Structure 1
Amino acid sequence: MLVAKPVVPGRVKPRLIGPLTALEAAEVHRLMLQCVLERLADSVADTGHGLVLALDGTCGAAARTLDLPAAWRVIDQGPGDLGERMAGIWSCLGGGPAAFFGADCPDVPRPALRSAVAAMARPGASIGPTEDGGYWTLAASGPVPALLSGIDWGTPSVYHQTREAARRGGIAITDLDHWADVDTHEDLQALRRRLMDQDEPVLVRLRAGLDRLHRESRP
């Protein structure tokens, strides 16, 4: 399950605006979102798991900015903070196994993606920490509402608060690979450097798109 904002200039990647225009920042978001869509589709192929893109906003118009692989179903995130939206999505989809992803870590290693998919079959929950204190995935065999409430979303405390909520609730939680996400211009340049060594076709396309944007944005 991919939870993301639609590609709307000014609504996405605000910390990139300055070095980039709002339009350019939105294009970064679109490129990364497209990359994650394709990589997740590859990662769950032949597993029997469904693919859901939950967008914050008008689904139809937002989805038209993307080249959606056929397997993806698009829904609206619904109201509330991020945890309330995740819980609502989980409930609406039947409350079975799920792995939540965002679009800010497009180059997570493929073995880590497979580990997140496999984690849906294990008791407890699995979480992939990010360098800024959040996480790139939360996977579990069923709803874990205790891990989605009382969290200061969008802050460096998210990962530690989630682990503490698991401890209080008696929920076993396993760490997956740590990875870097992309929020700032420095993060974006670090991503471009990491992509230089990649030969996975989806990541090569992401690198080409970001390189093109870099050339076009230079004065």
Structure 2
Amino acid sequence: MAKPALVVMARWPAAGRCKRRLADTLGIVRAASIQARLTKHTLRVANHLANRGLVELQFAITGLAPKAAKRWAHDQGVSTVELQGKGSLGERMRRQVLRVQQRHHPQITMGRTTLLIGTDLPNLCDRDLLQALEALQEHEFVLGPATDGGYWLLGLSGRLVKPVTRWPFCGIPWGSNQVKQVTLQKAADAGVRPCLLGQQNDLDCLEDLSPWQACEERLI
């Protein structure tokens, strides 16, 4: 059986091109620095699982050309890198799931279980991802809800990715506080009962730094 895939969706942390809500209060340089450190932390956790042989890591990047993306991934210790491409967040995530399956052995009837995460959780740890992988052994769909109405993790079992289902990625009001609610409704419409992980708080604006006082000085 193939290892589960872990897709890390990331934006190149260039000043003025990331963390715009945070940049409104901290400035574009400090906001970009926080984004860079968050990405490095996320990849450290992801690489730890990959080095233990528990997942196959895929780094999905936006904001860089192909050669520069490969150099950045190499600097972060990641060998499998893809560009996110154009389109909504849902279209870009679905594209990454499709690419995971394209590397999957064609003779295996079930698709490769896939997790997708972003890079906005200062307290992300191995346990969070291991819980998601464990849940996907019994559930087809796993969601890690975020306090802003979105989610910090999306998990699809092998049964939902061959062929890749469209409903978690299409018709979602990305960027709104309705993302989780609409996603769960679409799951219900498709007859899929999700497993919900613990709620976490994405780091998007200055107020989001307060729960992580121990991290604040290090991040800023």
What TM-score comes out, normalization by structure 2 length? 0.82
Aligned residues: 199
Letter in 2 for 1:25: A
**Structure 1 residue matching 2:167: 3-state secondary structure:** helix
Measured in 1, the distance between the counterparts of 2:211 and 2:55 equals 32
Alpha-carbon distance, 1:7 to partner:
1.3
1:68 to 1:172, Cα distance in 2 relative to 1, 3 A? farther
What is the aligned partner in structure 1 of residue 21 from structure 2?
15
Q: Give the aligned CA root-mean-square deviation in angstroms.
A: 2.1
What is the aligned partner in structure 2 of residue 5 from structure 1?
11
What is the aligned partner in structure 2 of residue 38 from structure 1?
44
Which of 166, 173, 182 pairs up with 2:194? 173
Alpha-carbon distance, 1:68 to partner:
4.0
Q: Structure with the greater relative contact order (CA < 8 A, sep ≥ 6): 1 or 2? A: 2
Q: Which runs of 5+ in 2 are unaligned?
A: 1-6, 102-110
What is the aligned partner in structure 1 of residue 171 from structure 2?
150
Alpha-carbon distance, 1:69 to partner:
4.4
**Structure 2 residue matching 1:37: 3-state secondary structure:** helix
| 1:93-172 alignment, distance < 5 Å | 93-94=100-101, 96-142=112-158, 143=161, 144-172=165-193
Residue 75 (structure 1) aligned with residue 96 (structure 2): no
Work out whether residues 59 and 74 of structure 1, in 8 Å CA contact, stay in contact via their aligned partners in 2: no
Overall identity of the aligned pairs, in %: 29
Work out whether residues 148 and 201 of structure 2, in 8 Å CA contact, stay in contact via their aligned partners in 1: yes
Q: Which runs of 5+ in 1 are unaligned?
A: 197-206, 215-219
Alpha-carbon distance, 1:120 to partner:
4.1
Measured in 2, the distance between the counterparts of 1:62 and 1:127 equals 28
1:167 to 1:51, Cα distance in 2 relative to 1, 3 A? same
1:140 to 1:164, Cα distance in 2 relative to 1, 3 A? same
Measured in 2, the distance between the counterparts of 1:92 and 1:212 equals 35
Measured in 1, the distance between the counterparts of 2:23 and 2:181 equals 29
**Structure 2 residue matching 1:93: 3-state secondary structure:** helix
Q: CA offsets, 1:48-96, max 9 Å, x none? A: 4210110113243246457744344111012211111111111122152
Work out whether residues 128 and 177 of structure 1, in 8 Å CA contact, stay in contact via their aligned partners in 2: yes
Alpha-carbon distance, 1:189 to partner:
3.2
Measured in 1, the distance between the counterparts of 2:73 and 2:31 equals 16
What TM-score comes out, normalization by structure 1 length? 0.82
What is the aligned partner in structure 1 of residue 98 from structure 2?
91
